[in-house]
Structure 1
């Protein structure tokens, strides 16, 4: 009744609730939990990453979209990489590192909406980064899968004698603790200027990047209105571009042309239709989504007739081989944390380094691990999302909120890179079409069409996977769980109901 946090690590969730108990609000708590996740889940996020948030201030049902994503350095452009023979941005090169935006966002949001102040929000993470935290099973799994992505100084800061950390090992990041101490005292300038910035620039430019002090000093968070979409009378608020929230809207708009409620929620028919809708929605995303300053296709993606025409391309009995080829005519014109406090301020925040351990590059002295969000740029000449200096790339991370009859009823998010819009559509459908409660909606098995394959989690019956293969899908059972999600349902009485995905080590904690 007083406050609740749902996130992917119990220490971050309990820390956020501790901040609420001490008189902090949802923003103070969200920043505290999020920054700590950079230590608790180092493969997923960190202060060298980016964040997006949707914020509903206390006493209002209004929602503000906060864009804490960084921009490409002025010296980076697609022609540079094309001249080097590249067709995509290399994931493990400084070319993929845009200026980290999360710290500026945390400082900006704390000043605008926080109650206790930034120093109090950062204090728990500083203590734990100095002392260390134990590695839980899911993080150990991530280490085993992705530790080879770490290179140079990052191996010193994030590995143990050159080997991945295992369950029960302790990870400390004292260099990052020092960075956070400086930010507590001096604000964003302690990160984007001076010794810390110089440490980051040295690491990036030694590897071939063209980052400058001016690039870092120019980092600025921006604010916008969220995008509003509707599914069967419910309003889904998504972050606008350069986030991919519009993809979730388009996918739900396509699915609204099918009677999902009449299908088995874990059967062949629903999984097939959802996979085909995802292929079409993601293809549209890849064509149009870019920095909001340059994007021109938003109205096309939002138009009901676009979804109607795409839905008509879906064959209920056969998987499409290429969404790009099939949908050409339609387009010819053209880590998660949520906190709610006693005053019902609502924060839906997602914070990431993109791929596991991001670019794998870390600064030498302070151990700041960099995201590789620049890999979201296209190198195709003339593409809306073509890499250019000062530009934000397509981002996969998308926080969400549901409003019912004008009232904010559920902040939620689904982690998992490309899966996120599909995950939003799946959670909305699970609850709206099948009447699942939030925890059941997150627990339910998932499938996802990506890279020419249809990944089908082990929670599906074997005969379902076999039937999907008969429809032409290249079915694969993934080793890694598909995504991870968190949600808080705000009942009309004000009671808070939390849900936390079992695919992660986290939990929902309230008081």
Structure 2
């Protein structure tokens, strides 16, 4: 639960009680009278022993709207931004920020043992595959950007898997729904790239033995850990979606066995185990990546997909390799901001920043209607290009230099009007030649790792191979089925990817390793972090805690947008956005949607120098269960 929502609990109950009392003035059963006890849940009984914690009535049931009070905000802080939830964590020797406290602790333990930032990132990611299965796991893909202190530059690795070679475009079109690949089931599955990415990173930058990096995850999965609030919420939502009639998932027994072994999905505080995943991790720790891609695990995967009528084979897995790449880069007000290349949407962040650099965001004012309007318009323009041009560069020629140029950004920026919404909006005409998890780690030698890993939509496809303990991604849904589109489905091709790590340098030195999780929110979120830090001078924790906006909709969807959006899409604003700003945006014509929690989740490490000594500041996300630590 968000801190500000929790603070709203008691005040929110009072109006409900008064309304329920009606003219009689007597409260109805199950509602508190002013100053009286909290309501008792149905079936719980009317009395409880206040000396026993486990006998207290639940006062924050999942999804309870009585705790959503936009007029109640975080408590008063004596220093820093008023809306910040906490201070950044500081240290000189290392830092880590992940979406689960135990994954952060695993990374810190590896660093303190002498491991590199890459070692710690792998240990954290393996742990998250168990701890946060709603966003990550062995069945997904992985991307990383690394500040290499020896090379003095940012390098990147793309761990993205391809579609099965035995699945033809004809078959995909025959089984498509509304001219799109189904979001769940075997047709949406592409080769998992995460493990090979870990292996490739470790071969180049690892210090500790490979097997050591899996010890925390194996221990967590075998012994069990309590499920946090948000992760538990999304496990239940995902399992319900897989079991829904017509979901398209070929079989759900394995998913239920893995994630609801007692017949019920875990709730907050339940101790959850995954012994199947622990056994899989042990095999990988002992046998390396080939056990997965060209060994017993590959055989199990092939047999499973043959059994359910899918297409993934051992040959598909054996062919997979990660790819070292030079990242894309642009300058933004004197800071170099990097974007992931390959088949990702990393370029969208850079395009948005290039457009926004032509405007005075600081002069417009923090959280002002003008600032959000220009940012959202930059998003709409960049995402038209994203939907038109982004694809696997091994299969399509993408005009990257033109899309990332300052001149093109100036042309696009001239389309934005300060007082009204641009309509219609189209992609530029190229010259003829041409629920994800994020985490970051830094070590004592100055290496910084920005890493992101995902099964795409929530837990993924709904499919868990027999006895392996992890779910396969559904990334293949993002292929296009439109003839002539660069992202058109093809066997052995990598689908368009939403997951993108972020990185920024300043004066030739590393500055920020950061990321914002969540599908199409990722470039939008990254831009808001950069603007909050550079244009508005917020520290890295406040930059993440600041209220966010999220625009949905494009004239050329990449398969992510919900149905029924109009030509202007939908602009969603968090509750912390000022009421005057909200009203002014609506007056401009923006369709304002309800806040749905889809504003991404963020981690960041900032590199500083203080009197000649390296200092790390680490920040985590108040919208998730995570934690950042430094030492």
Q: Normalising TM by the smaller chain, what interval? A: over 0.9
Q: d(CA) in 2 for partners of 1:367 and 1:6?
A: 25
Is the CA contact (8 Å cut-off) linking 2:176 and 2:182 kept in structure 1? Answer: no
Q: Secondary structure at the match of 1:491?
A: strand
Question: Partner residue of 1:498?
Answer: 618
Answering whether residue 538 of structure 2 is matched by residue 436 of structure 1, we say: yes
Question: Partner residue of 1:12?
Answer: 103
Q: Secondary structure at the match of 1:501?
A: coil
Question: Partner residue of 1:273?
Answer: 374
Answering whether residue 310 of structure 2 is matched by residue 218 of structure 1, we say: no
Gaps of 5+ in 2: 1-91, 243-251, 554-568
Is the CA contact (8 Å cut-off) linking 2:301 and 2:312 kept in structure 1? Answer: no
Question: Partner residue of 2:293?
Answer: 192
Change (3 A) 1:470 1:203: farther
Q: What are the within-5 Å matches in structure 2 for residues 336-351 of structure 1?
A: 336-351=438-453
Q: What are the within-5 Å matches in structure 2 for residues 446-485 of structure 1?
A: 446-451=548-553, 452-485=569-602
Q: Secondary structure at the match of 1:223?
A: strand
Question: Partner residue of 2:397?
Answer: 295
- For residues 48-88 of structure 1, the C-alpha deviation after alignment (integer angstroms, 9 at most, x for no partner) is 11100011233342121101111111123433222335411
- For residues 176-209 of structure 1, the C-alpha deviation after alignment (integer angstroms, 9 at most, x for no partner) is 1111111111111111133322222233344432
Is the CA contact (8 Å cut-off) linking 1:397 and 1:420 kept in structure 2? Answer: yes
Alpha-carbon deviation of 1:140?
2.0
Give the TM-score taking structure 1 as reference length: 0.96
Higher RCO, Cα 8 Å, sep 6+? 1
Q: d(CA) in 2 for partners of 1:296 and 1:328?
A: 14
Q: Secondary structure at the match of 2:609?
A: coil
Give the TM-score taking structure 2 as reference length: 0.78
Alpha-carbon deviation of 1:149?
3.2
Number of equivalent positions:
508
Alpha-carbon deviation of 1:165?
1.6
Is the CA contact (8 Å cut-off) linking 1:238 and 1:400 kept in structure 2? Answer: yes
Question: Partner residue of 2:144?
Answer: 53
Is the CA contact (8 Å cut-off) linking 2:521 and 2:598 kept in structure 1? Answer: no
Which of 445, 464, 478 is the matching residue for 1:376? 478
Q: What are the within-5 Å matches in structure 2 for residues 300-339 of structure 1?
A: 300-322=402-424, 326-328=425-427, 330-331=429-430, 335-339=437-441
Q: d(CA) in 1 for partners of 2:263 and 2:547?
A: 36
Which of 606, 612, 619 is the matching residue for 1:489? 606
- Using the TM superposition, name which of 185-194 and 56-65 deviates more: 56-65
Q: d(CA) in 2 for partners of 1:152 and 1:175?
A: 14
Which of 199, 218, 241 is the matching residue for 2:342? 241
Gaps of 5+ in 1: none
Which of 219, 222, 239 is the matching residue for 1:127? 219
- For residues 332-371 of structure 1, the C-alpha deviation after alignment (integer angstroms, 9 at most, x for no partner) is 8561111110011111110111101111111121122011
Change (3 A) 1:444 1:52: same
Which of 282, 292, 312 is the matching residue for 1:181? 282
Is the CA contact (8 Å cut-off) linking 2:147 and 2:448 kept in structure 1? Answer: yes
Q: d(CA) in 2 for partners of 1:123 and 1:84?
A: 42
Is the CA contact (8 Å cut-off) linking 2:121 and 2:439 kept in structure 1? Answer: yes
- Using the TM superposition, name which of 330-339 and 491-500 deviates more: 330-339
Answering whether residue 191 of structure 2 is matched by residue 90 of structure 1, we say: no
Is the CA contact (8 Å cut-off) linking 2:110 and 2:120 kept in structure 1? Answer: yes
Q: d(CA) in 2 for partners of 1:105 and 1:509?
A: 25
Question: Partner residue of 1:118?
Answer: 210
Q: What are the within-5 Å matches in structure 2 for residues 360-375 of structure 1?
A: 360-375=462-477
Answering whether residue 197 of structure 2 is matched by residue 105 of structure 1, we say: yes
Answering whether residue 143 of structure 2 is matched by residue 143 of structure 1, we say: no
Question: Partner residue of 1:170?
Answer: 271
Question: Partner residue of 2:169?
Answer: 78
Is the CA contact (8 Å cut-off) linking 1:203 and 1:361 kept in structure 2? Answer: no
| Structure with max Cα Rg | 2
Q: Secondary structure at the match of 2:520?
A: helix
Answering whether residue 142 of structure 2 is matched by residue 43 of structure 1, we say: no
Alpha-carbon deviation of 1:117?
2.0
Q: d(CA) in 1 for partners of 2:230 and 2:291?
A: 33
Q: Secondary structure at the match of 1:497?
A: strand
Is the CA contact (8 Å cut-off) linking 1:154 and 1:360 kept in structure 2? Answer: yes
Q: d(CA) in 1 for partners of 2:500 and 2:211?
A: 27
Q: Secondary structure at the match of 2:336?
A: strand
Q: d(CA) in 1 for partners of 2:119 and 2:492?
A: 30
Change (3 A) 1:476 1:101: same
Change (3 A) 1:236 1:206: same
Q: Secondary structure at the match of 2:618?
A: strand
Q: d(CA) in 2 for partners of 1:255 and 1:214?
A: 46
Answering whether residue 507 of structure 2 is matched by residue 387 of structure 1, we say: no
Is the CA contact (8 Å cut-off) linking 1:78 and 1:380 kept in structure 2? Answer: no
- For residues 5-25 of structure 1, the C-alpha deviation after alignment (integer angstroms, 9 at most, x for no partner) is 011111100110011111111
Alpha-carbon deviation of 1:329?
5.6
Which of 351, 358, 383 is the matching residue for 1:282? 383
- Using the TM superposition, name which of 197-206 and 221-230 deviates more: 197-206
Alpha-carbon deviation of 1:95?
1.4
Alpha-carbon deviation of 1:146?
2.7
Q: d(CA) in 1 for partners of 2:376 and 2:147?
A: 32
Change (3 A) 1:424 1:77: farther
- For residues 384-417 of structure 1, the C-alpha deviation after alignment (integer angstroms, 9 at most, x for no partner) is 1111111111111111111101111111111111
Alpha-carbon deviation of 1:39?
1.3
Is the CA contact (8 Å cut-off) linking 1:486 and 1:499 kept in structure 2? Answer: yes
Change (3 A) 1:85 1:133: closer
- For residues 251-279 of structure 1, the C-alpha deviation after alignment (integer angstroms, 9 at most, x for no partner) is 11111121111112212111111111111
- Using the TM superposition, name which of 242-251 and 159-168 deviates more: 159-168
Question: Partner residue of 2:513?
Answer: 411
